[in-house]
Structure 1
């Protein structure tokens, strides 16, 4: 069955210094793990062709399809606050772009596709665990309604990847609105390459912000999208784990699922990433870090803002300073919906924060507490249920001022509070089984997470927080 991918590769039409053209490195024995049929069809691709021997060869990097323009993108970035003047796709190859059935241009990228000039002494490969983690979490994010990169396919390589121990290799096919990052702009700004910066601005505007006209307009657009994105993360108890500027997408999508995690027990300063020793990217620090990242974007754009430097600094600073207000508006909207509130009142932020303070003190599960509001199960989440009861009375009084009861707003709350999330211990359970050749837990997790707001009686075990011996205390980048 012939594989036809209608590529139209705009990034490859940018100057050569934006990338290195190169093909993926072939693997020994490619094997199909999973093709995302719904996403393939949305891209205008034939899932059966992707699952054929020809398709699997392409997904593994053993064959380059007609019309592809494979390349590794270069960028820079701040990693945990430290400046790296050259990073880039160290284990990824952009095959090319397609325009999907909704008219949206999408990148198709292979992750784990071998070394590139930007690998920094790495092997350019991925092992099975991070590939399955990104597949599970990115598809869950999509189902939860959060802007995100997505997983088109996963294949095994028949090769061993050496990390702490020998592990099975795999390749993920990732789909994104683009892979342009804050670090892409930083790379050219650091080299004082205004010609490249200008070309990148125009490319990003055309691709993501067609109503924009200037670099300042682009900055404003990115700030608005990232403010909404981070507020939405917080509403789900999500911790990205590695919010470096090279992992901050211009499109406003969640990108690079390395040491990411969803909290079980709510703790505002929670960190999972094994390399985040200082808590830089803790749950409650994510808004501040995004402001910092966006300030780096603003700095990179100063030379191409079309005004005197002092005026450009003033305008860019004003834009970045709007982030807290934009973030706060979305945060309130997200959490009001989680409480079933339909009308805004001045004290709502205090009501929300009061609940979360009690959740932290009471060791309550983040997802299950919000989902159970209005029922006895909510108070059962707390070590001291009486601490919840006093808040519950205030909340019910607040609803009554809207002429509503908790039961009246149950459907609305259920639409804002997921019943199931990709909990760390379940992801690790699926990965452990897959390493031993059993992909059934992986498939089942994907099936349930595709409908995260719907109660699924036969999957109730997937909503349970981990027991002490199941808890995953650290997550890893997987590089």
Structure 2
């Protein structure tokens, strides 16, 4: 489990109290011009206490997990102690929030402590979320509540286990303080690890100020950090735009293939690195419906499951607009290059999404009619309120030549005959491909998870954690870290919520 070390002796514990973790920082963003950020230290908390440490991630980062598990480590992870080499900064950015442009957002409750080079040679940000007020806090308190911190920890780990690009949590730390939202809540800090925190909104911040030099500096920085091959292209900034377009198209397709709804796809929540970032009012669907919304503030369904591809394109258009001064000698040339790059979005999305749907229903290659077959299944699932995850998982248990094996997937439909009708052409399609049934079933199990962090399970873990019980969190982390395994000892985690367990709304941490 991702839990603090158990120091078994008084002597060991006494020694560890003075054992400070070593961070080998190399802070490239802090070397950019000063107007890219505000230098600000984290605000100390009353009583830092390590709740959970992601030990495998610490190992990947080249950090000493045992040292991080000491009081000295907790003090660093909470922001009470600045380790050697850190240069704490709050990053400046703007953003379109529900299509309304806000010229100055920035890190209002998060601080970039510094950057590490991990064991694989990748540059990784170490980011404290809930670390106190900054120059961008406006009316916010700069703090985070335990519930949203726990949600982000769990969903980031689940997403990583699903193989979807994501930020992750190194640790969650109690603060010994209360925060005030709709009610008084337990305070916490999330230590977030990311490939980078530059967002579409970061580019918008400078572009809307007509600071072309800053846009160029930022673009050059991103190319050097994330896309060095673009520097050799004939049009480096168009090449960068094309890379970001491709990453976002594939990311959103991957979300949709597992029934994930981000919930707040504002441009300040779109990472240039292509990682899932800012888990707020997000959720995995239970019963499938394409217009599903969980966010408590998305009253008109702007960020519903089926709207995510369209919003992804809209967000990327704002990125392209920010880059226009770098794309051509005149406006017409720049816009032509921007459109050429954006035109790649639809094909990249469809290739990943429809290819993923074919794999989810067990098809080895692409043939005419496959997309219609997959979409017909989704339509029937929506009409029948079939569970998204369980329908695809149990479909993989079906034998191509034994209708009796259909029972588990038929049970997902209120009227099983609706599935039976679809299964006739599906079986005909399976018969047309030279592939052993066992191989097809194994391939389906490899792309259709059995376990997701269901909303009611996350909420149960949050409620228990607020009462000081982290055992439900540990069980949930154990389950979602192996989403494709059968895990018979945890089969109850496959169960959709009972009516009294349904979580209809999720909330932003602010």
Shift, 1:306, TM fit: 4.1
Contact kept, 8 Å, 2:456 with 2:502, in 1: the verdict is yes
1:42 pairs with 2:60: yes
- Please, which of 177, 184, 188 is the counterpart of residue 206 of structure 2? 188
- Residue 94 of structure 1: SS of its match in structure 2? strand
Corresponding residue number in structure 1 for 2:387: 365
How far apart, CA to CA, are the structure 2 residues paired with 1:83 and 1:199? 22
Corresponding residue number in structure 2 for 1:218: 240
Corresponding residue number in structure 2 for 1:274: 296
1:465 pairs with 2:496: yes
How far apart, CA to CA, are the structure 1 residues paired with 2:87 and 2:238? 31
Alignment of 1:23-102 (within 5 A): 23-102=41-120
- Please, which of 430, 439, 449 is the counterpart of residue 418 of structure 1? 449
How far apart, CA to CA, are the structure 1 residues paired with 2:223 and 2:434? 45
Corresponding residue number in structure 2 for 1:240: 262
- Please, which of 351, 376, 393 is the counterpart of residue 329 of structure 1? 351
Contact kept, 8 Å, 1:44 with 1:100, in 2: the verdict is yes
Alignment deviations for residues 233-283 of structure 1 (CA, whole Å, 9 cap, x no partner): 010000000000000000000000000000000000000000000100000
Alignment deviations for residues 45-83 of structure 1 (CA, whole Å, 9 cap, x no partner): 011111111110001010000000100001000000001
Contact kept, 8 Å, 2:327 with 2:337, in 1: the verdict is no
State the superposition RMSD in angstroms: 0.8
Corresponding residue number in structure 2 for 1:146: 164
How far apart, CA to CA, are the structure 2 residues paired with 1:404 and 1:317? 41
- Residue 409 of structure 1: SS of its match in structure 2? helix
Alignment deviations for residues 444-478 of structure 1 (CA, whole Å, 9 cap, x no partner): 10111111100101111111000110000000001
- Residue 12 of structure 1: SS of its match in structure 2? helix
How far apart, CA to CA, are the structure 1 residues paired with 2:344 and 2:213? 28
Contact kept, 8 Å, 2:155 with 2:279, in 1: the verdict is yes
- Residue 177 of structure 2: SS of its match in structure 1? strand
Q: Note closer, same or farther for the CA distance 1:77–1:149 as it changes in structure 2 (3 Å cut).
A: same
- Please, which of 408, 419, 430 is the counterpart of residue 399 of structure 1? 430
Contact kept, 8 Å, 1:396 with 1:405, in 2: the verdict is no
- Please, which of 417, 424, 440 is the counterpart of residue 471 of structure 2? 440
Contact kept, 8 Å, 2:327 with 2:334, in 1: the verdict is yes
Corresponding residue number in structure 2 for 1:354: 376
How far apart, CA to CA, are the structure 2 residues paired with 1:180 and 1:461? 39
- Residue 102 of structure 1: SS of its match in structure 2? coil
1:383 pairs with 2:405: no
How far apart, CA to CA, are the structure 2 residues paired with 1:60 and 1:2? 14
Alignment deviations for residues 70-110 of structure 1 (CA, whole Å, 9 cap, x no partner): 00001000000001000000100000000111111000000
Corresponding residue number in structure 1 for 2:149: 131
Which moves more between the two structures, 351-360 or 394-403? Answer: 394-403
- Please, which of 314, 329, 343 is the counterpart of residue 292 of structure 1? 314
How far apart, CA to CA, are the structure 1 residues paired with 2:30 and 2:455? 37
How far apart, CA to CA, are the structure 1 residues paired with 2:483 and 2:339? 39
- Residue 446 of structure 2: SS of its match in structure 1? helix
- Residue 156 of structure 1: SS of its match in structure 2? strand
- Please, which of 334, 345, 360 is the counterpart of residue 367 of structure 2? 345
Contact kept, 8 Å, 1:94 with 1:107, in 2: the verdict is yes
Shift, 1:405, TM fit: 5.9
Shift, 1:406, TM fit: 4.8
Shift, 1:321, TM fit: 2.0
How far apart, CA to CA, are the structure 2 residues paired with 1:40 and 1:204? 25
Contact kept, 8 Å, 2:204 with 2:318, in 1: the verdict is yes
Contact kept, 8 Å, 1:399 with 1:405, in 2: the verdict is no
- Residue 87 of structure 1: SS of its match in structure 2? coil
Stretches of structure 2 that go unaligned for 5 or more consecutive residues are: 1-18, 399-405
Alignment deviations for residues 325-383 of structure 1 (CA, whole Å, 9 cap, x no partner): 11000001111111111111021110110000000011100000000012421110000
How far apart, CA to CA, are the structure 2 residues paired with 1:202 and 1:73? 17
Stretches of structure 1 that go unaligned for 5 or more consecutive residues are: none
How far apart, CA to CA, are the structure 2 residues paired with 1:404 and 1:52? 54
- Residue 212 of structure 1: SS of its match in structure 2? helix
Contact kept, 8 Å, 1:396 with 1:406, in 2: the verdict is no
Corresponding residue number in structure 1 for 2:15: none
How far apart, CA to CA, are the structure 1 residues paired with 2:341 and 2:113? 35
Contact kept, 8 Å, 2:390 with 2:412, in 1: the verdict is yes
How far apart, CA to CA, are the structure 2 residues paired with 1:408 and 1:211? 38
Corresponding residue number in structure 2 for 1:430: 461
- Residue 172 of structure 1: SS of its match in structure 2? strand
Corresponding residue number in structure 2 for 1:174: 192
1:197 pairs with 2:215: yes
Shift, 1:317, TM fit: 1.2
Contact kept, 8 Å, 2:49 with 2:174, in 1: the verdict is yes
Shift, 1:404, TM fit: 3.6
